[in-house]
């Protein structure tokens, strides 16, 4: 989730550190495991943790290392030579930069995410459509245009020709969700996956105009300098797992939509 750069980066750093410790321990182990290092956008955390776990169960002796951060941070890390095998970003723009630098193979889209209206449980304001959000008396909270979810909101709203009167343009999806959960806001605009993750505190109201700003998640193998065909095959198997039925089912459970 790019809207939470701080937390995502801290998590990534923590994971990288623990990965380093783990690798150091493994190198002295005669039955050393094969490692697949996956760099993924923070919004994929839950999905990829489950996919990695399933992958490790299916492939004896394989260890999947997850490094989770904001997409732009992931790109910067790989550009600086971070040891990644797979990269999954939350937008095509980030992936395109890696492609342009020749750092990854051909990307494949594996999921999409789109906006949804989040309302407090029971939907007290009776929101049913994007049009309902134009009521100036409504306490509507959105992301600021400067952050990705806000940019998507702006795109959807301008495409629909409607005018919204938000009472607040928040810093992040989390801030929007919080305002809805505590009932300060009557409605907020966030991603479908955010509603799914927020649990029973909020309800989602989908709207057709969301199609104007669909976020596509691409995945690609990072180009390796040494030609270890066994390892390359394993990496491809992980990418296939994400795109396979089990991976797609997990992603769908979390609100992602297949491309």
Interface residue list for other proteins (CB under 8 A): 139, 141, 144, 146-147, 166-171, 175, 178-179, 182-185
Cβ at position 201, least distance to other proteins in Å: 13
Which C-beta is closer to other proteins: that of 104 or that of 147? 147
Which C-beta is closer to other proteins: that of 15 or that of 167? 167
Cβ at position 148, least distance to other proteins in Å: 9
Which C-beta is closer to other proteins: that of 97 or that of 179? 179
Cβ at position 175, least distance to other proteins in Å: 6
Cβ at position 143, least distance to other proteins in Å: 10
Which C-beta is closer to other proteins: that of 200 or that of 208? 200
The 3 state secondary structure assigned to the chain is CCCCHHHHHHHHHHHHHHHHHHHHHHHCCCCCCEEEEEEEEHHHHHHHHHHHHHHHHHCCCEEEEEEEECHHHHHHHHHCCCCCCEEECCCHHHHHHHHHCCCECCCEEEEEECEEEEECCCCCCCCCCCHHHHCCCCCEEEECCCCHHHHHHHHHHHHHCCCCCCCEEECCHHHHHHHHHCCCCCEEEEEHHHHHHHHHHCEEECCHHHHHHCEEEEEEEECCCCCCHHHHHHHHHHHHHHHCHHHHHHHHHCCCECC
Which C-beta is closer to other proteins: that of 118 or that of 239? 118
Cβ at position 184, least distance to other proteins in Å: 5
């Amino acid at each position: 989730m790019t809207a939470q750069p701080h937390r995502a980066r801290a998590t990534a750093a923590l994971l990288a550190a623990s990965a380093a410790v783990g690798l150091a321990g493994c190198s002295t182990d005669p039955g050393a495991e094969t490692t697949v290092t996956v760099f993924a956008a923070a919004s994929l955390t839950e999905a990829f943790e489950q996919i990695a776990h399933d992958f490790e169960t299916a492939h004896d002796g394989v260890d999947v290392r997850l490094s989770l951060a904001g997409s732009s941070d992931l790109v910067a890390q790989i550009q600086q030579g971070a040891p990644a095998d797979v990269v999954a970003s939350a937008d095509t723009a980030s992936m395109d930069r890696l492609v342009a630098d020749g750092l990854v193979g051909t990307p494949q889209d594996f999921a999409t995410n789109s906006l949804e209206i989040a309302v407090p449980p029971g939907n007290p304001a009776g929101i049913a459509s994007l049009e309902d959000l134009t009521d100036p008396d409504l306490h509507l909270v959105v992301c600021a245009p400067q952050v990705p979810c806000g940019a998507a909101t702006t795109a959807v709203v301008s495409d629909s020709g409607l005018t919204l009167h938000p009472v607040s343009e928040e810093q992040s999806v989390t801030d929007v969700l919080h305002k809805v959960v505590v009932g300060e806001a009557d409605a907020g605009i966030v991603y479908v996956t955010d509603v799914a993750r927020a649990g029973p505190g909020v309800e989602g109201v989908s709207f057709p105009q969301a199609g104007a700003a669909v976020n596509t998640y691409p995945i690609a193998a990072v180009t390796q300098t040494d030609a270890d065909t066994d390892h390359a095959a394993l990496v491809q198997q992980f990418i296939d797992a994400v795109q396979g039925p089990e991976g797609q089912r997990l992603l769908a459970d979390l609100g992602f939509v297949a491309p």
